Amino acid sequence: MKNPAETEIRTRFAPSPTGQLHIGNARTAIMNWLFSRHSGGTFILRIEDTDVERSTRASEEAILQDIRWLGLDWDEGPDTGGVSGPYRQSERLELYRTHASRLLEEGRVYRCYCTPEELEERRRRLRAEGRMVQYDGECRTLTQQQISVYENEGRKPVLRFASDESDVVFQDIIRGEVRVPGNTIGDFIILRQNGRPMYNFCCVVDDHLMKISHVIRGDDHISNTPRQALLYQALDWPLPVFAHIPMILGPNRERLSKRHGATSVSEYRAMGYLPEALVNYLSLLSWSSESGDEILSVERLIDEFNFARVSRSAAVFDREKLDWMNGVYLRSQEPDRFSRLIKPYLSGEEFPDLTDEQLSQLTHLFQEKIETLSQIREKAAPLFREPVLPENNEAAELLDSETAQKVVTLFLSLSSDEQEWNSGVFRDLMKKIQTESGIKGKELWMPVRIALTGQMHGPDLAGLVTFYGITKCRRLAAQALRT
């Protein structure tokens, strides 16, 4: 049979709809998508929903929305159709039963009637004896009489694959040759008592019938591959090319989990990360561009992606680096787009209905100062609070000083509610205050900033006063004077 590596490139991403799309799974989807697009191949989305108790259509739709938001499109899938459908495993059950029946007829699998209690007792005994815990093949050689007894007891069998002790060998384009001793695998279940297929069996049937050429997935799946290889061999099907990409770890080098912070794509989306930044960052976990560049457009990622530059080492998720990268992308946005992006984060009682002009002014003030869109709330909130209160004792003491009070007093006496007001007029006003008071530098500018915002640091002051307007600036300055 023809080697799948010599045929059309077909990759797949196969999430289970039991929760939100995890960052690690998103990285797997991205690598499958990049490789298929780089190779001019086909990218397939398959939903692995045989876990009836936990799978939901709501979760499936949420995952699809996250994948679309990332900018990944698929050529075949549950919503687009295709030549290899259906694309939900729950709709392919008859296919699994057909191939399981074939393996049963050929003697490659057998009916196992052992109860959960019997299996647990054997596992307990094996652990006590210090032996490997795996199925002991009790039901491999049942007589018809024994089968009749079990069935009369009402026992429902599972189907187990009859493994042997030969080593299982497969090639991985990241790890090279992988060899697993056959005596460590055991006789594994392919069909449950209720007829529902197990994960490994579904994968093999689906990947073959969908003509998947490359199985690209996290290396936490590498323990499944020997069982899948045995199933391919038993069904006389060629193995796909395997590529097990390293796991993503947290900063403490443990598997990335909730204790490290946000782990789902939807959480990063809500916090205001751009999809292009997230795709760029996740692509660089265990892979790198030959150029050494880190800011890479989707077009460059597609053009440069190859497995030769995928590391075998686990990747550490660095939130600070992601923030930096997202900040680079935010600063590169056209002002009009940035204004549209921040608008959803400036809603609620804390913020009035902002005009397009106000959004444009906020863009000017903060586009260079935030790394995630959600930070705009914290940055912009002080601009809408009244009365303005100093943020700490240092700011309060500075504003209460004789020098600061003199600056604020001159700010009021040298300005007027009726005058034209913009950043240039404001700078001219500050020069007049400096000339009249002899105060300059930080002692000149800081009192005005604290009076208007309560903060010692913040956005460009000339832009800020333009955003406020002269009437509000004078009102806040008056409130800052000692009574």
- pLDDT at residue 261, rounded to an integer: 67
Could you tell me which CATH number the domain at 258-331 has?
1.10.1160.10
Average pLDDT of the chain is 94
- pLDDT at residue 322, rounded to an integer: 97
Share of the chain above pLDDT 70, in %: 98
Q: Which residues of the chain fall below pLDDT 70?
A: 1-6, 258-261, 483
Residue 51: what are its φ and ψ, rounded to 5°?
A: -80, 85
- pLDDT at residue 260, rounded to an integer: 64
Residue spans in the chain of domains classed CATH 1.10.8: 334-379
> What is the chain's alpha carbon radius of gyration, rounded to the nearest angstrom?
32
pLDDT in tens, 374-401: 999 999 999 999 999 999 999 999 999 9
The tokens for 199 are: 């994960």
Could you tell me which CATH number the domain at 334-379 has?
1.10.8
Neighbours of 345 (CB within 10 A): 20
- pLDDT at residue 350, rounded to an integer: 87
Residue 261, by phi and psi: left (phi above 0), alpha (psi -120 to 50) or beta? Answer: left
SS3 471: helix
Q: Is 343 a catalytic residue?
A: no
- pLDDT at residue 5, rounded to an integer: 44
pLDDT in tens, 31-66: 999 999 999 999 999 999 988 889 999 999 999 999
The pTM of the whole model exceeds 0.95: no
Residue spans in the chain of domains classed CATH 1.10.10.350: 385-483
- pLDDT at residue 165, rounded to an integer: 87
Q: Tell me if 337 sits within 8 A of 369, measured CB to CB.
A: no
- The string of DSSP codes covering 243-292 is EEEPPEE-TTSSBP-GGGS--BHHHHHHHT--HHHHHHHHHTSSB--TT-
The helix or strand, by DSSP H or E, that contains position 344, with its residue range, turns out to be: none
Residue linked to tokens 């990622």? 301
Could you tell me which CATH number the domain at 385-483 has?
1.10.10.350
- pLDDT at residue 6, rounded to an integer: 55
Residue spans in the chain of domains classed CATH 1.10.1160.10: 258-331
Catalytic residue among 2, 156, 258, 379: 258
